[in-house]
Chains A and B, each alone.
Chain A
């Protein structure tokens, strides 16, 4: 299925209009399920499916080196995608670094496909992330702390999560530990380390603002919530928080990747 950019944009604009009338005050997770069902019935396809399709095309596109992304190892061997995303982030021997889905896609596009870093658009990385993640639906999160680099990032992530800073003395734990279940307007603060298994909710399509986000974008937005300058994409602090969150959600089963959230 090939959809032109303007067609996608048009469809999405329609959906946003449809959602604008959605009522407030209901459980956002139930509401997301309802909206998703509504969408399926009216247009027969979900935005998540569209993006996965785009990601698949990008995955199969040949880069300057003549190779497709099937030549890349996402952790389980060359071209193996089944369950790969559920085991990220992890340490990779070829780069000597811990990488999450986003950064591993960058590595693939630069080192294997021969793109220059500045040629790579963020939207392409996200679309490919949607595609690769879709191959882990139903899988268990299995993130390990085997390598010292993984343990070091976990420790940094935990510290960042509990760090209180800025004029309001806030940090991630302020909302996601101390305030769990309390509401900010319509949104209850998720128990991201525990029962909400938030790691399995991203990457996702957010119907409330019609955006496609990976966990990197989710974390950056939360820094926005606390009036803290956002960390750069692909930076170590984001990766560290991801290792921490993913490890704490080990064993959780991915209900559906990419997810469909408020």
Chain B
């Protein structure tokens, strides 16, 4: 009984994968002429990546509810249940080009001049407060931005394994904690 359910689940996943493939078999054969390592990235393309590629990042309205639900389902939380961790650790992650590189896209860091790809986060915690809802929203956007902004360019830090849930909670604290440098010191570039 259990086995049958598992097989059904596998079949279902397979059907989903097939339905949401971006490159066809013939195209993948052509892609392989460029070398194994190159091709593997496309062979391993995720179904949600395929969907965003297929629709050039603008998903049709009828696909949205299911897409958002699937993205939401990928979000995991810290063992402790606490969504705000250590803001100092979070700052080291936020401001490190090799780690999360948040500042390249967002304005507001007191350490680096921020970019303008994403919205400004200047004094984020002072403006939004620290309510449970804001903590959750901020955590979830960082964990999986596609759960709020389908196909956005912001990396899916948790969902893609770039940051652990604990590290994300540290970054949330960096943005929200009123004591955090992010909220007490002026952003680089502010007048």
- Contact call A169/B155, Cβ cutoff below 8 A: yes
Asked if B30 CB lies within 8 Å of chain A CBs, one says yes
Expressed in whole angstroms, the minimum distance between the Cβ of B16 and any Cβ of chain A is 18
Q: How far is it, in angstroms, between the C-alpha of A168 and the C-alpha of B162 when the chains are bound? A: 9
Q: How far is it, in angstroms, between the C-alpha of A254 and the C-alpha of B117 when the chains are bound? A: 31
Taking CB as reference atom, which chain A residue is nearest B51?
Answer: A164
Taking CB as reference atom, which chain A residue is nearest B27?
Answer: A156
- Contact call A236/B53, Cβ cutoff below 8 A: no
Expressed in whole angstroms, the minimum distance between the Cβ of A239 and any Cβ of chain B is 9
Given A178-B57, A182-B115, A237-B38, A164 and B52 contact (CB-CB distance below 8 Å): yes
- Contact call A165/B34, Cβ cutoff below 8 A: no
- Contact call B162/A167, Cβ cutoff below 8 A: yes
Asked if B161 CB lies within 8 Å of chain A CBs, one says yes
Q: Which of B96-121 contact A (CB under 8 A)?
A: 104, 115-117
Asked if B23 CB lies within 8 Å of chain A CBs, one says yes
Query: Which of A156, A163, A166, A178 has the most chain B CB atoms inside 10 A of its CB?
Result: A163
Expressed in whole angstroms, the minimum distance between the Cβ of B24 and any Cβ of chain A is 9
Give the B interface residue count (CB, 8 A).
Answer: 31
Q: How far is it, in angstroms, between the C-alpha of A196 and the C-alpha of B184 when the chains are bound? A: 42
Q: How far is it, in angstroms, between the C-alpha of A160 and the C-alpha of B30 when the chains are bound? A: 11
- Contact call A232/B35, Cβ cutoff below 8 A: yes
Q: How far is it, in angstroms, between the C-alpha of A174 and the C-alpha of B52 when the chains are bound? A: 11
Asked if B41 CB lies within 8 Å of chain A CBs, one says yes
Provide the A249-262 mask, 1 if CB < 8 A to any CB of B, else 0.
00000000000000
Asked if A128 CB lies within 8 Å of chain B CBs, one says no
Contact of A231 among B23, B35, B104 (CB under 8 A): B35
- Contact call A230/B38, Cβ cutoff below 8 A: yes
Expressed in whole angstroms, the minimum distance between the Cβ of B152 and any Cβ of chain A is 9
Taking CB as reference atom, which chain A residue is nearest B29?
Answer: A236
- Contact call B117/A237, Cβ cutoff below 8 A: no
Task: Identify whether the interface residues of B are mostly helix, strand, loop, or mixed.
Answer: loop
Q: How far is it, in angstroms, between the C-alpha of A173 and the C-alpha of B161 when the chains are bound? A: 23
Expressed in whole angstroms, the minimum distance between the Cβ of B103 and any Cβ of chain A is 13
- Contact call B41/A229, Cβ cutoff below 8 A: yes
Provide the B44-55 mask, 1 if CB < 8 A to any CB of A, else 0.
110001001100
Q: Which residues of A contact B160 (CB under 8 A)?
A: 167-169
- Contact call A236/B162, Cβ cutoff below 8 A: no
Asked if A171 CB lies within 8 Å of chain B CBs, one says yes
Q: How far is it, in angstroms, between the C-alpha of A160 and the C-alpha of B155 when the chains are bound? A: 19
Asked if B153 CB lies within 8 Å of chain A CBs, one says yes
- Contact call A162/B41, Cβ cutoff below 8 A: no
- Contact call A165/B27, Cβ cutoff below 8 A: no
Given A232-B33, A232-B34, A183 and B115 contact (CB-CB distance below 8 Å): yes
Q: Which residues of B contact A229 (CB under 8 A)?
A: 35, 37-38, 40-41
Q: Which residues of A contact B37 (CB under 8 A)?
A: 229
Expressed in whole angstroms, the minimum distance between the Cβ of B101 and any Cβ of chain A is 10
Taking CB as reference atom, which chain B residue is nearest A183?
Answer: B115
Given A169-B156, A182-B117, A231-B38, A163 and B33 contact (CB-CB distance below 8 Å): no
- Contact call B115/A162, Cβ cutoff below 8 A: no
Q: Which of B139-173 contact A (CB under 8 A)?
A: 151, 153, 155-156, 160-162
Given A159-B22, A178-B153, A229-B41, A171 and B53 contact (CB-CB distance below 8 Å): yes
State the B residues within 8 Å of A (CB). Answer: 22-23, 27, 30-31, 33-35, 37-38, 40-42, 44-45, 49, 52-53, 56-57, 104, 115-117, 151, 153, 155-156, 160-162
Nearest 4 interchain pairs by C-beta: A231-B34, A229-B37, A235-B34, A236-B30
